Amino acid sequence: MLEIKNVSFRYHETSVNLINNFTFSADNKDIIAIQGDSGSGKTTLLNIICGVIPKIFNGDLSGNIIHNEVDISNLTLPEIAPRISLLMQHPDNQLFFPTVEQELAFGPENLKIPTNDIIKRIDEVLNRLNIKDLRLKETSALSFGQKKLVSLASIITLSPDIFLLDEPFAGLSNEYIKVISTEIKTQAENGKIIFIAGHNININEFANKTIEMENLNERY
């Protein structure tokens, strides 16, 4: 379970809250659509939920993010990642290793998961996302859509309780959109909580909860 309690936030250079006194809860299997115009705070909200704000990006933040009765403000980012993981809008900001296989192994290796289990996780996600042929490819040589799928796969191998997906469908072909949509539903059915930020109204087709960012802004 995730609880967002009375969260308010503004960047230091602004005088109004981008997010104002927001309270929300999500249970296992929930898929939450976060909708709003550009600049309305969708990415900011995701960054707050996973601790990137305030641990990396500063601002005036109040309130609490509670995961399974644990306040994440008391955890480091490496401690948060196995609980709550973020898929960024731009995959180049998320891929760090020379090959796809190395990228997918990094998260579970940090958790000291046995090698055989890591290999099994990689095999499974490559198969489900239909990217088995990318296993030994250099990440720098991938297309934008392939990079996005590999970034998502790297989160799946980590197996967090909560997935935060920032514009997961932006710039993708219909084929890749279908693959990611199917995986989102699968993860939710397996008990994960999924947040999807985006402009695409189609995300409401499989989301059971919606957050409208305009309702969170102080100026509204």
pLDDT tens readout for residues 184-218: 999 999 999 999 998 765 777 789 999 999 888 76
Region 125-139 average pLDDT: 96
Rounded to an integer, what distance in angstroms lies between the CA atom of residue 67 and that of residue 24?
Answer: 12
- Residue 154 corresponds to which amino acid? S
Q: Which of 101, 103, 167, 183 is catalytic?
A: 167
pLDDT-derived band at 220 (thresholds 50, 70, 90) equals very low
Is 167 in the active site?
yes
Q: Is the Cβ–Cβ distance between 172 and 129 less than 8 Å?
A: no
Rounded to an integer, what distance in angstroms lies between the CA atom of residue 172 and that of residue 164?
Answer: 18
Which pTM was predicted?
0.93
Nearest to 87 by CA among 175, 214, 172, 204: 172
Nearest to 150 by CA among 77, 107, 100: 100
Q: What angle do CA 96, 101, 106 make, to 5 degrees?
A: 55
The per-residue pLDDT for 54 is 94
Rounded to an integer, what distance in angstroms lies between the CA atom of residue 122 and that of residue 207?
Answer: 27
